[in-house]
Amino acid sequence: MPKLDINGVQYNYIDRGAGDQVIFWGHGLMYNWHSFEPQIDHFVAQGYRCIAIDWRGQGETAGGGDAADYSMYRLGDDALALLQGLGVQRCHWVGLSMGGMVALRLYPRHPELFQSLVLIDTSAADAPDLLPGYTQMAETYRAVGGVPPLLEALDNVFYTPAFPQRSPDVVEYWHAYWRSADRESMYKAVMPVIDRDDVTDTIDAISAPTLIIVGEADNATPPPYSEVLNSRIKNSQLVRIPEAGHMSSVEQPAAVTAAIDSFLRGLA
């Protein structure tokens, strides 16, 4: 896989397809670019250039730096540097959870980058009520790794209860990733997301066409968070994905692909 040195870190990315219509894919926390693989395959076949990143300390991107280097503001700077290094000045940004949170913090500083926005299972708000539980999970992961009780807890955060029984191979793929990932780097990646600032007051300024997607059974960022985005972002539309939890692109890939496809066709 190609890598690019960005702010002192070897960033892993993929760059597939060709053309002047570019889609950037920013994955959710504790995942990597493969969580968008079905969508990327589809849009490359539709004639889009697709660029997907592994965020700092996740996937095949190295960890490095202190806590500030893992902030979502710094990650936005890293993504911008990657895109500029690949000759991209404007893109359709697709971000799931953390990938959407990065976009919401980058947009006010670089609105010219965003041809459109797709925000999946994400939020502009902070989540102080979830911080103690998620912090405990993060500290457990750093200490002992992907032990079975923690993997079960992560499944409960990311999926509907039926998904592990319906798609055990997919779930085991991500379990294997969590067991093998660098625990310290993952911990540094997790903390800025779960202990994040509230940027709700900045999203009124978003003018790029925006699609908001949420799993109807998302427990990590429930649908009301997406409803707030929809009510405050002008020119936005909201699509709910049935039988999907927080990782809707993994749990219901066809439905998420169809929603994004319809949205982008409407911009043509």
Sign of the torsion formed by the C-alpha atoms of 126, 129, 131 and 134:
negative
Q: Strand, helix or coil at 243?
A: coil
Nearest Cα to 86, choosing from 23, 8, 9? 23
- H or E element at residue 14: strand 9-16
pLDDT of the chain along its 268 residues, tens only? 789 999 889 999 999 999 899 999 999 999 999 999 999 999 999 999 999 999 999 999 999 888 889 999 999 999 999 999 999 999 999 999 999 999 999 999 999 999 999 999 999 999 888 889 999 999 999 999 999 999 999 999 999 999 999 999 999 999 999 999 999 999 999 999 999 999 999 999 999 999 999 999 999 999 999 999 999 999 899 999 999 999 999 999 999 999 999 999 999 8
Residue 83: exposure state from Cβ atoms within 10 A (0-12, 13-18, ≥19): buried
DSSP 69-100: GGSHHHHHHHHHHHHHHTT-S-EEEEEETHHH
**Bridge partners of residue 159, in order along the sequence:** none
- The domains found in the chain, sorted by start residue, are 3-126+197-267 (3.40.50.1820)
| Cβ burial 161-185 (10 Å sphere, 16+ → b, else e) | eebbeeeeebbeebbebbeebebeb
Its pTM stands at 0.97
Contact between 3 and 12 (Cβ < 8 Å): yes
